[in-house]
Amino acid sequence: MFDTRRFLTGNLRHACVPLRMARRWRWHGYAWAVAAAASCTLIGVAMQPRFDVVNIAMVYLLAVVVIALRFARGPAVTASVLCVAAFDFMFVPPRGRLSVDDVQYLLTFAIMLAIALIISRLVESDRRQASEQAALEVAAETERIRSALLASVSHDLRTPLAVMAGASSSLAETGERLTSVERSALATSIFDQAREMSEHVAKILQMTRLEIGAISADRDWTALSEIVGSVLRRLAERMARHRIIVDVPEDLPLVRVDATLIEQALGNLLENCARHTPAETVVRVRAQRQQSEIVVTVEDYAGGLSDAELERVFAKFSRGTVEGGGTDIGLGLAICRAIVRLHGGRAWAERVSGGGSAFKFTLPLELPPDIPPEPVD
């Protein structure tokens, strides 16, 4: 039996596709209508010696029902008309002509057409409901993301703003009465908060630009060891409390990537580990060649993620528990994944046996052009 629900949900995607594809889908329906009428005729011919004409009509009826369920009204009507014509021409006496001897067959034709219309109408209204439902779900999801964004923006931006406003007004209004140590502590916290906020804003902009496709990868030959080196230099202060082990083989081939973006992707993974693991724990950065790709791994050995978290951490605005101070806007891993996908790679997380998490991404390997060898002086 046909599972109408599954048919409908199967069609849901088509209900939402752009017009051009929907149109192609419609032609597809007509083609299936013709094909169905033709195959019924072949089956009918095979059945004819042993079965009654009424049973052959049933085969046609089945085809009409299937087409009506699967496609729009146009193909359904087409199928019923074609089936009626083929049935009449091939099997209803006088055969080989589109005329009818027995008036009873006219009733068969009318019923076939009516069934096609009724079913396609039912299916259409059900389909419309399903697509309305889907549109509602999309709207709800958009709304959920928007309010998550607002909540996150308001928290992550308001807190540093509050600190900056408070600390700077203290400096401006009571600065003379403060000791130089107090003044410099206030000024330092304004600087730190401003820097953090600037990074939050940069991440929100970056995520938005990646999502709307406003960022393209400006690829060039790059050494991953250099990217690792410059990330570690950039994050030296933030990673100072962790022990970092670097494991990049000497002979790792060059990759053709947008170095700035990949630096950012790797940096986000490292920052994420630094933020969610206690001080003095080890973070390992590794790059390996595996068949036709390079796998970059950032691994920590503290805590670890649950099955659900392994995937959820890559979602926008997902926050874990933060060790020590600082906030996490929850975009780092989402940006990392978007950047890696832009390069044709994959990004995912795994559990490390014995506790800890491994964040990995791949980059496709291309053969770099040769360089003429040169002897030393």
Q: Which stretch binds other proteins (CB under 8 A): 18-26, 70-78, 96-104, 190-198?
A: 190-198
Give least dist CB 336 to other proteins, A.
16
Q: Is 260 in the site for other proteins (CB under 8 A)?
A: yes
Of 72 and 266, nearer to other proteins (C-beta) is: 266
User: How many Å apart are CA 272 and CA 245, to the nearest integer?
Assistant: 16
- Do 109 and 84 touch, CB atoms closer than 8 A? yes
13: left (phi over 0), alpha (psi -120 to 50) or beta: alpha
2 sits near other proteins (criterion: CB under 8 A):
no
Q: Give yes or no for residue 233 binding other proteins (CB under 8 A).
A: yes
Long-range pairs of 198-205 with CB within 8 A, sequence gap ≥ 24: 200/153, 200/156, 200/157, 200/160, 200/327, 200/329, 201/157, 203/329, 203/331, 203/332, 203/335, 204/149, 204/153, 204/329, 204/331
Cβ pair 296, 252 in contact under 8 A:
no
The one among 17, 98, 138, 202 contacting other proteins by CB under 8 A: 202
By CB under 8 A, name the one of 79, 227, 294, 302 that touches other proteins: 227
The residue within the footprint of other proteins, chosen from 16, 161, 232, 310 (CB under 8 A), is 232
- CB-wise, 96 or 369, nearer to other proteins? 369
Number of residues that bind other proteins (CB under 8 A): 32
> How many contiguous H segments (helices) and E segments (strands) does the chain have?
10, 7
The label of the residue with tokens 């403060």 reads 178
CA distance 17 to 25: 10
Rule CB under 8 A: is residue 289 a binding residue for other proteins? no
* Alpha-carbon distances, residue 59 vs 28, 73, 112 (angstroms): 22, 20, 11
* Least gap, CB of 168 to other proteins (angstroms): 12
Q: Rule CB under 8 A: choose which of 97, 195, 289, 346 binds other proteins.
A: 195
Q: Whose Cβ is closer to other proteins: residue 49's or residue 213's? A: 213
Half-sphere exposure of 256 (CA within 13 A, CB side): 9
Asked whether the beta carbons of 60 and 115 are under 8 A apart, the reply is no
Residues 316-375 that bind other proteins (CB under 8 A): 368-369, 371, 374-375
Q: Contact between 226 and other proteins (CB under 8 A)?
A: yes
Select from 230, 288, 318, 327 the one that contacts other proteins (CB under 8 A): 230
Q: For other proteins, give the closer residue by CB, 141 or 218.
A: 218
Q: Which window, 57-65, 159-167, 178-186, 217-225, contacts other proteins (CB under 8 A)?
A: 217-225
Does position 185 interact with other proteins (CB under 8 A)? The reply is no
Helix axes 104-174, 4-16, angle to 10 degrees: 60
Supply the minimum distance, in Å, between the C-beta of residue 359 and other proteins: 19
Report how far residue 222's alpha carbon sits from residue 118's, in angstroms, rounded to the nearest whole number: 63
Give residues in contact with other proteins (CB under 8 A).
Answer: 191, 194-195, 198, 202, 218, 220-223, 225-230, 232-233, 246, 248, 254, 258-260, 263, 368-369, 371, 374-377
